[in-house]
Amino acid sequence: MTQQTFVSLAQMVGTNEDAIEAAVREHARLVYRIAYSVLRNHHDAEDATQETFVRVLRYRRKLEGVEDPKTWLAKIAWRVAVERSRRKGVNQSLNDAETQAASMQLRSGLASAEDSVLGTEMAQLLTSFISALPERLRAVLRLSTVEELSAVEIAHVLGSSESAVRSRLFRARQILKEKLVALEGKYGNKR
């Protein structure tokens, strides 16, 4: 799979349009998801995806030395998304009413045994909780939500070890869980 990816990406340097198209089709979704995990906006995520592939074109001379093109692409996508996020400086915190609505969705989610879809407020609440995490924990957690990336690949993207990724992920989840418990307790007692 990786070798095939390398071949298809390497052919992008040439004039084989089919190879270019195949490479874009193979990786566009991954790149988009990485961008969306940071930017939380479809429009911005698509722009970041476009920019990522344009950068691939720009750096295509370095392509032959790339061992794992999937991780290489993911790293570019991550950098592009983080740069855009810093430029934009989006405030993802919720106001009090939105937090209360999110807590209601949280309680209904806890009560339901079904794999139901969480509401908008709950999703926003989670986003704000993740945004409030320390940078290193936040990066690992965001990339872990991208299904296509394993812990090893996340480690490559972030330039750290696999064990560090796993421990940060555990710590990030722990913090989120504590916050959810606290929220449930706070608004649940008011009821």
Partner 1 sequence: METKDRDRFDELLDKALHQYGNVEPRIGLERRILANMQVAENRVHTGFRWLAAGIVAAALGIAMGTGIWHQALTPKQNIAAPTLPQDGARNVSSATIPSHARLIRPRTSQPRRHTAAGSSVALVDSPRLDQFPSPLPLSQEELLLASYAEHFPKEALLVAQEQRNFEEEIRLAELDAGAASTIPDQGR
Tokens of 17: 């349009």
In the complex, the smallest distance separating the C-beta of residue 64 from partner 1, rounded to whole angstroms, is 19
- Nearest residue (CB) to partner 1, 33 versus 70: 33
In the complex, the smallest distance separating the C-beta of residue 57 from partner 1, rounded to whole angstroms, is 6
Residues contributing to the site for partner 1 (CB under 8 A): 20-21, 24-25, 28-29, 32-33, 36-37, 42, 45-46, 49-50, 53-54, 57, 106, 109-110, 115, 117-118, 122-123, 126-127, 130, 141-142, 144-147, 173, 176-177, 180-181
- Under DSSP, the state recorded for 116 is P
- Nearest residue (CB) to partner 1, 82 versus 130: 130
Backbone φ/ψ region at 16: left (φ over 0), alpha (ψ -120 to 50), beta: beta
In the complex, the smallest distance separating the C-beta of residue 126 from partner 1, rounded to whole angstroms, is 5
- Nearest residue (CB) to partner 1, 20 versus 155: 20
| Helix (H/G/I), strand (E/B), else coil: 4 | helix
- Nearest residue (CB) to partner 1, 5 versus 49: 49
- Nearest residue (CB) to partner 1, 82 versus 180: 180
In the complex, the smallest distance separating the C-beta of residue 87 from partner 1, rounded to whole angstroms, is 20
- Under DSSP, the state recorded for 62 is G
Pair 140, 168: CB distance under 8 Å: yes
In the complex, the smallest distance separating the C-beta of residue 185 from partner 1, rounded to whole angstroms, is 10
In angstroms, how far apart are the furthest CA atoms of the chain? 66
